[in-house]
Amino acid sequence: MGATDRALRGCARLAPVVTNRTRAMKVVAVINAKGGCGKSTIATGLAAGLARKGLRTLLIDMDPQAQVTQWLGAGDGLTAAGTLVAAFSGVSTLGEVIQSTAFENLSFVPSAEVLEEVGRRITEFEDYPTILAHLLVAIKRLTRCPPTD
């Protein structure tokens, strides 16, 4: 089974979980269908700026071109392991694919090119808009209850 099918199977498992528990977490999406209009630049600068202000910030690369992933040296943009795709598929938790960065308060989730095919087929699931929310809720629970040792 390929990375896309694994990811879609994971999404099918996650999608029915409808939740509003991410409310306290502020989510900013930088989206535009047009390429080259500054999405990656804005997302990276915004995340770095928020982290600099002292806010714990998680930058998630959801672009199959994985440009930010390569800018940060966080992956080759080709390998699905250790990326958002692995979290969608359930191979890893979102927490397991979060990387620290050189910046205090700024963490990062890399992307991979297979996300393009996953993105095309993810709409097969009725509740697909909740998939990322579900993953975020899980890491929020983890950060609320850090290990005590």
Ligand X SMILES: Nc1ncnc2c1ncn2[C@@H]1O[C@H](COP(=O)(O)OP(=O)(O)O)[C@@H](O)[C@H]1O
Residues that bind Mg ion in the complex, under the rule CB under 5 A: 39-40, 67
Instruction: Tell me the window of 7-15, 36-44, 100-108, 109-117 that interacts with ligand X (CB under 6 A).
Output: 36-44
Strand order in the sheet with 99-100: 57-60, 106-109, 99-100
Residue (10 or 64) nearer to Mg ion, CB: 64
- Among residues 40, 57, 92, 111, which is the contact residue for ligand X, using CB under 6 A? 40
Q: Tell me how far apart the alpha carbons of residues 7 and 81 are, in angstroms, rounded to a whole number.
A: 11
Among candidate residues 94, 109, 77, the one with its CA nearest the CA of residue 142: 94
DSSP-based three-state secondary structure for 90: coil
39 in contact with ligand X (CB under 6 A): yes
Q: Which helix (H) or strand (E) holds 68?
A: helix 67-71
| 147 contact choice in Mg ion, ligand X, none (CB below 5 to 8 Å, kind-dependent) | none
Q: Does 67 bind ligand X (CB under 6 A)?
A: yes
Binding site for ligand X (CB under 6 A): 35-41, 67
